[in-house]
Amino acid sequence: MLREKLQNYQVILASASPRRHQFLKELDLDFTIEIREVEEVYPQELKGSEITDFLADLKSKAFTDLKEKELLITSDTIVWLDNKALGKPKSPEEAFNMLRALSGKKHDVISSISIKGKHFQKIVNDITVVYFKEITDAEINYYINNYKPFDKAGSYGIQEWIGLIAIEKIEGSFFNVVGLPVEKLYKELMKL
């Protein structure tokens, strides 16, 4: 459906995430991948979805040369725990500390999507509540050593081993936790 709807557009996905690439393929969408380096820094006073909205927009601003009929999709995801954003861990120690902090608690996974054309932009976001059971240090280390979650917000992928053993329930979109609220993206693209 989307392929026909967007046949007059050249869709550009500005993301290195293999999960986001797969989601767009599964939507039967023709797209190209173009990544431009952006320093993902945001004002410290921003909270929750304000952060992901800001970063999705910031990533889109790297594309100052959009042409007519080009459609740019950028996105950002964070884990929001105890009024703090957890991004991607930079080391095994940081990954361990994030997972230890998530153990036995609920947190929000927040994603924002920017859909931008030459003359318009729409930013939407989604929040999913995730409940972690208590996890042991041995389980955390096993996961980090075997799955290397350094490209994932909050140091985990719900679709991986840790999701199978540690997540008790979620409220909201599963796909948002994987990294893209696909149902919201589809809805917005169908409105074009």
- The answer to whether 108 is a known catalytic residue is no
**What residues form DSSP beta bridges with 71?**
11
- How far apart CA 178 and CA 4 sit, in angstroms, is 26
Q: Which of 28, 53, 65, 76 is catalytic?
A: 76
Please tell me whether residue 166 adopts helix, strand or coil conformation. helix
Strands 167-171 vs 106-116: parallel, antiparallel or unpaired = unpaired
- How far apart CA 13 and CA 15 sit, in angstroms, is 6
- How far apart CA 110 and CA 181 sit, in angstroms, is 9
Among the listed residues 73, 113, 83, 100, the one whose alpha carbon sits nearest the alpha carbon of residue 155: 100
Place of tokens 């409105």: 191
| 105 within 8 A of 169, measured Cβ to Cβ | no
| 43 within 8 A of 16, measured Cβ to Cβ | no
Strands 106-116 vs 70-81: parallel, antiparallel or unpaired = antiparallel
Q: Which residues are catalytic?
A: 76
